[in-house]
Homo-oligomer: A and B are copies of this chain.
């Protein structure tokens, strides 16, 4: 059984009614149900956590040590400056997949730089909410 932690960073709780032309209109709750279902079908388990607080996300990551096998992480705008999250990912040594809903390379210039990527196992960007599914699929197919 794989224990997976899905973490959404700041403002991602507004998904579905935030800048719809960029982030779409589906709320994250619906997506989450789907993801949990998919995981459950193969006997795996998804924990979900959203926070607008960098500190809470770091706490959550620390608690994951020994309890979680993979992290799927959309850091929101913390992507661009939270070196503390970079260090947290390195410190906990749990493979962490970075997901961005929009194509962060094709918007404001400051969005094209991620300080998280160098610590992440891999990055998925620009596929909309499908990015979460792709991350999950990748994890489920790992041996």
Picked from B11, B83, B133, the residue with its CB within 8 Å of the CB of A58 is B11
Cβ of A19: which chain B residues have Cβ within 8 Å of it? 90-91
We find that the number of chain A residues with CB closer than 8 angstroms to chain B is 55
Who on chain B is nearest to A79 by CB?
Answer: B83
Instruction: Report the bound CA distance from A11 to B137 in whole Å.
Output: 28
Secondary structure dominating the interface of A? helix
Tell me the smallest distance from the CB of A95 to a CB of chain B, in Å: 10
Q: Say yes or no: A76-B80 contact (C-beta < 8 A), given A103-B117, A103-B123, A117-B105.
A: no
Cβ of A114: which chain B residues have Cβ within 8 Å of it? 105
Instruction: Report the bound CA distance from A18 to B113 in whole Å.
Output: 26
Counting CB contacts under 8 A, is A141 at the interface? yes
Counting CB contacts under 8 A, is A52 at the interface? yes
On whether the beta carbons of A123 and B122 are closer than 8 Å, the reply is no
The 5 closest A-B pairs by CB, nearest first: A53-B55, A122-B126, A105-B117, A52-B58, A77-B83
- Residues of A participating in the B interface, judged by any CB pair closer than 8 Å: 9-11, 13-14, 18-19, 51-56, 58-59, 62, 76-78, 80-84, 86-88, 90-92, 103, 105-106, 110, 112, 114-115, 117-127, 130-131, 133-134, 137-138, 141
